[in-house]
Chain A
Amino acid sequence: SAVISQKPSRDICQRGTSLTIQCQVDSQVTMMFWYRQQPGQSLTLIATANQGSEATYESGFVIDKFPISRPNLTFSTLTVSNMSPEDSSIYLCSATSGTGAYEQYFGPGTRLTVT
């Protein structure tokens, strides 16, 4: 299985600022995703990070608020822009390891608190 790391592990930010979260996979993967998990809740898919093209966003999430980059097959970033307290959450990246593979593995998450 792919080993996924994220940076930072946690951060406390002021409203109106932006934070960029990095996701690194130890091997090339076909698909990478970003999820949000609010305290005590389930996981909600934000977007699919597409290598070499614009991310595909789910309903309720927009590029201006959550710009995503994926410059290669092992790395992606998610930016949370113009933050408000409602953005306080855990943000997780995940990856599917290969063509035709279904198994999806998660990073450790980034715990974001907006004050």
Chain B
Amino acid sequence: GENVEQHPSTLSVQEGDSAVIKCTYSDSASNYFPWYKQELGKRPQLIIDIRSNVGEKKDQRIAVTLNKTAKHFSLHITETQPEDSAVYFCAAWRGGGKLIFGQGTELSVKP
């Protein structure tokens, strides 16, 4: 079955720096890759996603890149702000609507 590995587990950056979180997946049939942001005590929020027919997608300060050959995808946050501090989860679509999640990255942005 699908397996998703996410790195790093924790990431600390200074405000204004960039942050990059990487995920790899095992099932070459996966074709949809969302990223969720979860603040403490809150629900996971979909922040950006990418489908397998696209290599890169950008939305203001966040971007996602996908390398289908290598089976990895990454989240890039530029000009980080303290409100970006949260746990970020990547996921891969396993088919039938099922998402398999990575282990999560706790991002801390220091002012």
Query: Chain A residues in contact with chain B, CB under 8 A?
Result: 1, 30-31, 33, 41-45, 48, 56, 58, 92, 96, 102-109
Contact = CB atoms under 8 A, between A and B. Distances in A.
A102 B43 contact: no
B101 A102 contact: no
Contacts of A41: 103-104
A31 B91 CA distance: 17
Contacts of B98: 33, 45, 48, 58
A36 B65 CA distance: 28
For chain B, the bracket of interface size reads: 20 to 34
B46 A42 contact: no
B103 A104 contact: no
A33 B44 CA distance: 14
Given A42-B102, A102-B49, A102-B51, A96 B43 contact: no
Contact of A48 (B32, B46, B93, B97): B97
Interface of B: 32, 34, 36, 42-46, 49, 51, 89, 93, 96-104
Given A102-B49, A104-B34, A104-B97, A42 B43 contact: no
Contacts of B44: 43, 92, 106
Contacts of B49: 102-103
Contact of B46 (A92, A103, A109): A103
A64 to B, nearest CB: 22
Contacts of A105: 46
A39 B45 CA distance: 18
Contacts of B42: 108
A6 to B, nearest CB: 9
B89 A104 contact: no
A104 B101 contact: no
B43 A108 contact: yes
B3 to A, nearest CB: 12
A43 B102 CA distance: 8
17 contacts: A30-B97, A33-B97, A33-B98, A42-B101, A42-B104, A43-B89, A48-B96, A48-B97, A102-B32, A102-B51, A103-B34, A103-B46, A104-B34, A104-B99, A105-B46, A106-B45, A109-B43
